[in-house]
Structure 1
């Protein structure tokens, strides 16, 4: 019987032990001050022990407790492997990817250890089945009064945890709000549910509930737009039959003043600068400073939940639509975007982790892009949703792109609240921009190689503060001009320019106009040669004449009236200290 007990107890502790090994921080943005173990690895280990003792104390019989313990003992091995490999617990992000992928891609994530992992899982299943049989046969009863003591002790422990977590939340609420404004990186991470969600096995039901919510959102959106008719009208009948490919690249956390292409002092975009056919827009802004809000506004004609997306419009125009992403497939921040991604004919998620971990780089999308371009489909829309320069910046590029030094290492914990390591933080950020430059140049090379009439539009979802001016923090999600200014450019193939000379001239003429990323819907449909009944309130960037719109933002009104010069304005001594030195 002791061996049977150990075979059910020990595996369930593996994920918590894995947390102790990787020391993964609960919150990557490094909120401080914080009671370190609330939500940390030791907290998770303690909750795992509580789980193991709890069913025995509550049920008092091994035959009943085994039903609660066995499923989590079986799932503990893959959970522990995921923690050790990717440094974070599983969750809706990985469940969504698994739902979108196939066996070959899963084996690729496991890497060279896939055989050992599968063997370990098989051994674990066999051991758990044997242990459950022994527990069932023994039918052990816990009748001693120590059972009541244990129940009382566990209840007191849980009440203490609740009180500590609530107290932590009150401490956070009492901090200076000007110093710690709302940030999408930290939202939904406070409170008991968020702390339990990172633990094992307590968090599994919560994670599955989030994934269930994601699936319901996808289904609801599909029903809402399933019968929509966007009213496609081709500008020229000849364009309807011309083979073409149009690509929208959604950048992540990009600010134009760190790009050489937009006048940045550093050599961060050497490949794009050398590329012909690029039209860079110098005064572009986003509609929101958080990905989950800005990307849906990029992809739809209005803010209405049932508004048609870019994928719906292109599908009705006869294009085969594709969504390729290195961002998460599901989760608190990902679901609003994933519901739109599912409207594409095909969707592919290359990343087995969400933005908090180091997983696949944006370059992982290139093989799938190349394969799609090789298909005989005459007309294609391809959306590439990248991770770009999202914190942790060192996670966004391979070692050979560490051009600006010293830079934060991948093993370092970035701190956006204290500026003591600002030069290293900014160097890592600029290195991520150099990798984005390489990636975008590679995408353009693939498009150019097809010889087709092709266009590419790049626009970032939002910017990023880097201790600018009087701002005492980095990151995004708050009211600062740098969080809304974004890089935007077009690449136009020679074949497309030859067929659309007037529109090419119009795009060049408008490149210094004040524009918004919300024009992506109207611009992309017009690039492809068709109009829709309701193109949206933001104008096509190739229109003649172009009338600059009021650049409304989701939470802070008119950008030019209410955000320009706000919060992080003025010269930044810290930014000035970061020179242009490199390898």
Structure 2
């Protein structure tokens, strides 16, 4: 009898261990090495105690196994795969990627998994089934009530110790938030406080908590979408006879103009493809004096898309926010699409996702996040091709991950002018080279279609690298390079043939002084404004002439509006100092 009793409790211990296998993986080790082992121990201990409490609710081992297998253990291989392939646990962003994808895209995502993981999934569940039969044949086995009660009491007490003796509590509250209104909501939905904050990255809680987090975040995105739908844009678009049949807006990420050899000949050879195209393609227009209005994505991108954004570049909410160029293009007769390699929800991405919701078709194709490996930007090319084939008039936004830190995560191993390097400035150069390849691929696809097509590439903001002259030893967004962005406009031959005046106007202005907000006005002018001539909309664009005194108003790191050129003269290492 003692032997049988020991076997029964060994099964109890085995299930507790199985429920915590993914929690023992080392996927977070290099993200915060100083505290990693302490946090790993804390999470495994908490999850282990919760597993003990849950198992202690069952008296029969076979029943405990069936419940745990059907709820948690069957999908454990997916949890392990997520950690290995995306560098994170299952997250709300991964849930968003799945739910925002079509069945065909989900199928492609699953097929992209190594056969190794598929075999593990089936083999693991076959083992689970075999173990069920083993326990079913011993269905008279029971875990003693007295021992189970002791396990519950002891586990609960151990879980309460940090809260009783250390006073552990939430570190965040909206009352301490310096932002207001709209931004508050995105920050609030992205914070997990108290007990569940330790569990959102732990198996088996990661999936249900991530699903809950997704719907909470999605509600904020929907709220933001409705908020900007209350006020109609002051202007309405009407597609002119010679308007582009296809417009592709590529939004880059953290791309500094000086890192592009195309713009800055002293830079490494980071743009071989576009530099080659510039030698023979008159339709490639290179705007070399454009700055971002802000150096945070969620503050910079909205003003690229509309002249009445959800939040202004300084981060303040706009009570007069309107739908963006995506909605305007849709009402003008374009089939609209938004394909993103960034997240669909979150404190940093939710505001941008609210604009993506305006598109007829949308897909978020990065199951990870901007802090980890994730997918490369070329994942956006196939959806773009499909959208081009399906619509006669297409307006497509491609939101890339570009050169977001860590740079070596943004391109395949062995790519770029410094293929074997891990040095920060060289990996940044490699990420720019990958953007060069991506943009050239977009242009080549449009060129092949033979339609009146326009491609506009604009980075949300730049990136300042470590600099001896500035005394900086790490990347930052304080200096001029964080504002100086590349802008490229490509016009197909078919578009240029019937829009000669527009082409020559843009070509004359490639050295003009602009901010990224001119992208919106440029697209408006290309499509056409209902009831007005194209030059009467009153919205700044790359069609408008500028002079050396034209101000470039940007938001400094101190969140003050400054004239960029004046700020650079004072201190190019810290704008607005």
Q: TM-score range by the shorter chain?
A: 0.7 to 0.9
Q: What do residues 391-413 of structure 1 show as CA deviations (whole Å, max 9, x unaligned)? A: 121111123424226511xxxxx
TM-score by length of 2: 0.79
CA-CA distance at 1:559 after TM superposition: 4.3
Distance 1:131 1:383, change over 3 A: farther
CA-CA distance at 1:485 after TM superposition: 1.8
Aligned-partner SS, 1:367: helix
Matching of residues 123-138 of structure 1 within 5 Å: 123=126, 126=129, 138=142
Aligned-partner SS, 1:511: coil
Q: Which residue of 1 aligns with 2:94?
A: 94
TM-score by length of 1: 0.78
Q: Which residue of 2 aligns with 1:331?
A: 346
CA-CA distance at 1:259 after TM superposition: 0.5
Number of residues paired by the alignment? Answer: 524
Q: Which residue of 2 aligns with 1:575?
A: none
- Matches of 1:136 and 1:211 in 2, distance apart? 42
Aligned-partner SS, 1:466: coil
1:50 and 2:65 equivalent?
A: no
Question: Please, which of 220, 223, 245 is the counterpart of residue 220 of structure 1?
Answer: 223
Q: Which residue of 2 aligns with 1:37?
A: 37
Conserved 8 A contact 1:388-1:396: yes
1:439 and 2:428 equivalent?
A: no
Q: What do residues 524-580 of structure 1 show as CA deviations (whole Å, max 9, x unaligned)? A: 12223346999998611113578945523282312427753677629xxxxxxxxxx
Gap regions ≥5 residues in structure 2 = 1-7, 173-186, 311-317
1:155 and 2:163 equivalent?
A: no
Question: Please, which of 287, 295, 298 is the counterpart of residue 292 of structure 1?
Answer: 298
1:112 and 2:115 equivalent?
A: yes
Per mean C-alpha deviation after superposition, the further-off stretch among 152-161 and 457-466 is 152-161
Conserved 8 A contact 1:8-1:131: no
Aligned-partner SS, 1:263: coil
Q: Which residue of 2 aligns with 1:578?
A: none
Per mean C-alpha deviation after superposition, the further-off stretch among 199-208 and 71-80 is 199-208
- Matches of 2:347 and 2:133 in 1, distance apart? 38
Q: What do residues 344-402 of structure 1 show as CA deviations (whole Å, max 9, x unaligned)? A: 11112332221222232112222222222233x22111111111111121111123424
Aligned-partner SS, 1:513: coil
Query: What RMSD in Å do the two structures reach over aligned CA positions?
Result: 3.8
Distance 1:404 1:192, change over 3 A: farther
Q: Which residue of 2 aligns with 1:359?
A: 374
Q: What do residues 139-177 of structure 1 show as CA deviations (whole Å, max 9, x unaligned)? A: 7524565754443333225667875997xx9xxxxxxxx
Distance 1:343 1:502, change over 3 A: same
Distance 1:222 1:233, change over 3 A: closer
Q: What do residues 166-191 of structure 1 show as CA deviations (whole Å, max 9, x unaligned)? A: 7xx9xxxxxxxxxxxxxx9xx96999
Q: What do residues 12-57 of structure 1 show as CA deviations (whole Å, max 9, x unaligned)? A: 212112x23x454345xx8xxx434344x44433332232234467
Conserved 8 A contact 1:109-1:352: no
Conserved 8 A contact 1:287-1:484: yes
- Matches of 1:405 and 1:98 in 2, distance apart? 33
CA-CA distance at 1:450 after TM superposition: 1.1
Gap regions ≥5 residues in structure 1 = 170-183, 409-423, 571-583
- Matches of 1:194 and 1:90 in 2, distance apart? 14
CA-CA distance at 1:338 after TM superposition: 1.5
Conserved 8 A contact 1:556-1:562: no
- Matches of 2:253 and 2:380 in 1, distance apart? 15
Q: Which residue of 2 aligns with 1:529?
A: 528
CA-CA distance at 1:9 after TM superposition: 2.1
Q: Which residue of 1 aligns with 2:177?
A: none
Question: Please, which of 307, 314, 324 is the counterpart of residue 322 of structure 2?
Answer: 307
Distance 1:280 1:150, change over 3 A: same
- Matches of 2:290 and 2:38 in 1, distance apart? 41
Q: What do residues 195-237 of structure 1 show as CA deviations (whole Å, max 9, x unaligned)? A: 5433334555543343122220233244345576546656774
Conserved 8 A contact 1:523-1:541: yes
